[in-house]
């Protein structure tokens, strides 16, 4: 428990930096996308160049932006969970609900970010694009974040069972 304050401070710094970068990059990408500013979009994306903007790409970027916002929500919920743990509130309804929300949001945001890109490159562009977003999104990262979301959901059920056992134990003593 002595290392928890250091972890909290590190998490707060990481949360601030990631939130600022995500908001700025998502806002710039959305503005460039809706004003058909291809050079700025290509510079934001990196090596994956887009030759033309169609409505499918607009939908893809909006879904990815929603997924990024959900990632930020996950980070804030993790911060709240760390605060609960620092106050020794391990097996409470609040921590159990936060674990469930973190698992759900993490899974949904991963699907919102990875699946539209995969579907676009597979079914809409039929591989004729130069890899819009998909090259930077690996299957390993997709699987990792889905499994991480499932892990948090399983952890919430374990905490729920531990809370029940703790309540029964408190009644017997």
DSSP state of 136: G
Q: Which residues of 22-47 are buried (b: 16+ CB within 10 A; e: fewer)?
A: beeebeebeebbeeebeeebeeebee
pLDDT reported for residue 153: 96
Q: CB of 60 within 8 A of CB of 41?
A: no
Cβ-Cβ contacts under 8 Å for 16 (sequence gap 6 or more): none
Highest average pLDDT, of 25-39, 68-82, 136-150, comes from 68-82
Give 43-60 pLDDT, tens digit per residue: 445 445 566 677 777 787
DSSP state of 53: -
- Which residue, 53, 26, 25, is CA-closest to 39? 53
Distance, CA of 56 to CA of 61 (rounded, Å): 9
Q: CB of 103 within 8 A of CB of 150?
A: yes
Give 110-124 pLDDT, tens digit per residue: 898 888 777 776 776
Give 7-46 pLDDT, tens digit per residue: 778 878 888 888 888 888 778 777 777 777 666 555 445 4
Cβ-Cβ contacts under 8 Å for 146 (sequence gap 6 or more): 107, 110, 111
- Which residue, 11, 137, 136, is CA-closest to 74? 11
Distance, CA of 40 to CA of 52 (rounded, Å): 13
Residue 165 confidence class, pLDDT cut points 50, 70, 90: very high
Write out the two tokens for 146. Answer: 């889905």
Helix (H, G, I), strand (E, B) or coil at 48: coil
């Amino acid at each position: 428990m002595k290392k928890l304050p250091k972890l909290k401070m590190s998490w707060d710094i990481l949360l601030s930096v990631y939130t600022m970068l995500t908001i700025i990059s998502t806002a710039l990408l959305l503005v460039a996308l809706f004003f058909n500013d291809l050079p700025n979009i290509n510079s934001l994306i990196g090596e994956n160049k887009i030759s033309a903007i169609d409505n499918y790409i607009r939908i893809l970027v909006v879904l990815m932006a929603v997924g990024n916002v959900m990632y930020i929500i996950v980070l804030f919920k993790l911060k709240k969970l760390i605060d609960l743990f620092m106050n020794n509130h391990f097996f409470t309804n609040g921590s159990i609900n936060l674990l469930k929300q973190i698992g759900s949001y993490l899974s949904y945001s991963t699907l919102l970010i990875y699946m539209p890109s995969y579907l676009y490159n597979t079914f809409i562009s039929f591989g004729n694009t130069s890899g819009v977003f998909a090259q930077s999104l690996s299957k390993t990262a997709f699987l990792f974040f889905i499994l991480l979301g499932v892990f948090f959901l399983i952890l919430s059920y374990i905490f729920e069972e531990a809370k029940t056992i703790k309540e029964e134990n408190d009644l017997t003593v």
